[in-house]
Structures are given as structure tokens and as C-alpha cells.
Amino acid sequence: MISLYRWKSGQEFGNWEPVQKLPMEGQKVPDGEVWWIDLEDPTEEEEDLVFHRFLPVHPLTLEDITRTRREPDGLPHFPKVEEFPDYLFVIVNPLRPADAGEPPGARTELAKSVVQLSAVLTDRILITHHYKPLPAVHESKQFCCRHVEQAGRGPDYLFHLVLDQIVDEFAPEIDRLIDRLDEIEVQVLENPSKQLVAELVHLKRRVIALRKILILMREVLARLTRGEFKLVDAREIVYYRNVFDHLVRYTELIDGAREMVSDLMQTHLAAASNRMNAIMKVLAMVSTVILPMSLIASIYGMNFKHMPELEWDYGYPLAIGLMVAIAVVSVWWFYRRKWF
């Protein structure tokens, strides 16, 4: 599906128009207008219409844009930015929208955690391409309809709106991860279990996937903020820098979450080891108490003919009393040493 937003000077309202108004041969955008063309889950014919007939792009650019269609089970293309003579090509990786009934953060694999958003910018055209409905694009569309005059700032400003929404989507996901890690930290100290280890491994894979994407996107934003691309106006760089600052902060948070996961796994191993040591200490104390008693019982359980104590009337009480005395002395010694 192709959606077209047209802004022209003096326009007091904005909306998304049918694709039939899209020129078929070359980029014929009237003077004083800014266009945003959004392709959401497009067909091959729609891709051909936009990237061959309306705004021809380099074959390598088209190959990167359609990678998800060609490799549906593979990784989306990692974030990148490339400048061509007549357009700027950018790829970013928004979070994959959760399916109905799916808990947030259920996906841990990188290929299932994010999707690909491709963007082509010229001086008056912004083209966005994605195979999944993206909340960031939807919110940016709504912003354009509410604030029509902002579209006049150009495609670079419109693309900044999309990037800002994409980056901000990482905030609640990172907050959920950190909150869950705080909860696990208490549980690890109180009751370490195999379930906690499995969840920590799950969270670690999730954190690593998010960190990889955030770092790559940070590099793309860093280039966009340095002013090395002529299609990003100097007055818009400050907005890109604001998005970059958010991305840096989220990257630092995810780095802290990664360290926290590793620390919790080490803490879990230490807590489980301490718990095992406590159990072994109890068993050792029980064995220490029982061993002398077993020794006495074993001695007087031997079937030798000449054992004077066997004929003694007080032999049995003496053996029992000796066992009890040894047990009491052992327990008293453990208590004095503060072993329990």
C-alpha cells in the first residue's frame, strides 16, 4: 500500500492522498511542495512504481530495501546511511510491534526483535518503506496532519520525526528490562532457582540484541548530526542531535542492563553455592555427631567371646550415656564456634 502526503505553501490542512496522483515518469514535484511517500507492505509492482518509474534508485539501494522480502526468515538489514548524487539513503531498525496477546519483550532473537525501515530523501521528497505497520510512522503521519506548517521544513525534518518516534520506542522496553532485573535481584538472594537462571539467559539474549541495534543506530545518527550530508539542512541538525542524545542515553542504560544481567548470573551462582555449602555444613555436623555414636555401637556390636562390658549390668546404660554425652558436647562445640 502506498500513501502520499503533499504539503504546499499556504496550505492550512494536510491529509494523505491516493496513489493515483503520483507522477509516473521522473520526480515531478511542483515547486513549493514537499512530498512524503510511505510504502507499507508494498507489492513488487508498487516498489517498481516508486523506485524505478517515479524516483529511480541505485540497484544496490533497491537490493537493501527489499532484503526482508527476499529473506523473510533472515536478519533485517542493519542500520546504515549512504549518500548518492541525487538522494540520501538511510536504514534503521525499529522494534517489531508485538503481536496480539504476545507479552512485551517475548522475542529474544535479533531477527525477531526488530524490523527494517528504509528511507530515501531528496530535497523535496521523503520515501519510507517497511513491510510491517510501524507505530512510529503512524504517529509521525498524525503529527503532519495536526501541524501542517511543519512539513514545509522539508523531508529531513519529516524523517527526524520518524527517527524520534523510533528511538523513543526503546525507552519503555529498556525500562521493563531494568525493572524485571531489579525484581530478579531480590529473588536471586532469597530463593535462587533454575527458573531464574533460564529467565536471566532469556533477558541476556534480549539485552544483547537491543544493544547491538542501538549501537549501530547510534553510528547512523552520529553521521547525520555531523553535517556531512547536504540533504540534511544545518537548522535540522540540532533536532537530529536531540535524537542522538536520547539514543546515547538508551545505549548507556542497555549497557548497564547487560552488566546487571552478568552480575546477577554470577550472584545466582554464588547464592546457589552458598546454599549448597550451608546444606553440606548441616550434613557434616550431623555426620560429626552420629559418627562417634556409630563407632561406640559398632565396637559393642562385635561378636567376640571375651568382652567384659557385655556381662556388666551397667554396660548398656553406660554406652547410651556415652553416646548422648558425645552428641551434647559436639552440639555445644558447634554452637560455641558459631557454626549454626
Q: Which of 66, 74, 33 is nearest to 48 (CA)?
A: 66
Q: Average pLDDT in the 104-115 region?
A: 61
Residue 276 neighbours by CB under 8 Å, 6+ apart: none
Average pLDDT over residues 226-234: 84
Task: Give the tens place of pLDDT for each residue, 10-31.
Answer: 665 556 665 655 555 455 677 7
pLDDT on residue 15: 63
Give the DSSP per-residue string, 211-230: HHHHHHHHHHHHHHHTT--T
Rounded to two decimals, what is the model's pTM? 0.74
Domain boundaries, the chain: 2-271, 282-336
CA angle 286–291–296, rounded 5-degree value: 140
Mean pLDDT of 78-95: 89
The answer to whether domain 2-271 and domain 282-336 are alike in fold is: no
Sign, CA torsion 297/301/307/310: positive
Residue range 65-72: mean pLDDT, rounded: 77
pLDDT band with cut points at 50, 70 and 90 for residue 109: low
What's the confidence (pLDDT) of residue 101?
46
Q: What percent of the chain has pLDDT over 90?
A: 3
- Say which CATH architecture domain 2-271 belongs to: 2-Layer Sandwich (3.30)
* Residue 48, pLDDT above cutoff 80: yes
pLDDT band for position 33 (cuts 50, 70, 90): confident
Of 71-75, 105-109, 296-300, the least confident: 105-109
Closest Cα partner for 64 from 18, 121, 116, 109? Answer: 116
3-state class of 58 per DSSP?
A: coil
pLDDT band at 89 (very low <50, low <70, confident <90, very high): very high
pLDDT at position 107 over 60: no
Exposed, middle or buried, 148 (CB in 10 Å: 0-12/13-18/19+)?
middle
For 189-212, the pLDDT digits (tens) are: 777 777 888 888 888 888 888 888
The three cell numbers of residue 190 are 532469597
Q: Using 50, 70 and 90 to split pLDDT, how confident is the model at 152?
A: confident
* Cell numbers at 275, concatenated: 546454599
Q: Which fold has domain 282-336?
A: Methane Monooxygenase Hydroxylase; Chain G, domain 1 (1.20.58)
Higher-confidence residue: 159 or 304?
159
Position 298 scores a pLDDT of 82
- Is the pLDDT at 103 greater than 60? The verdict is no
For the chain, the average pLDDT equals: 80
Q: What average pLDDT does this structure show over 155-178?
A: 88
What pLDDT digit, counting tens, does each position of 236-295 carry?
A: 888 889 989 999 999 899 888 888 888 887 777 777 777 777 778 788 888 888 888 888
More confident residue, 326 or 74: 326
Q: Is the pLDDT of residue 100 over 50?
A: no
Distance CA 154, CA 121 (A): 10
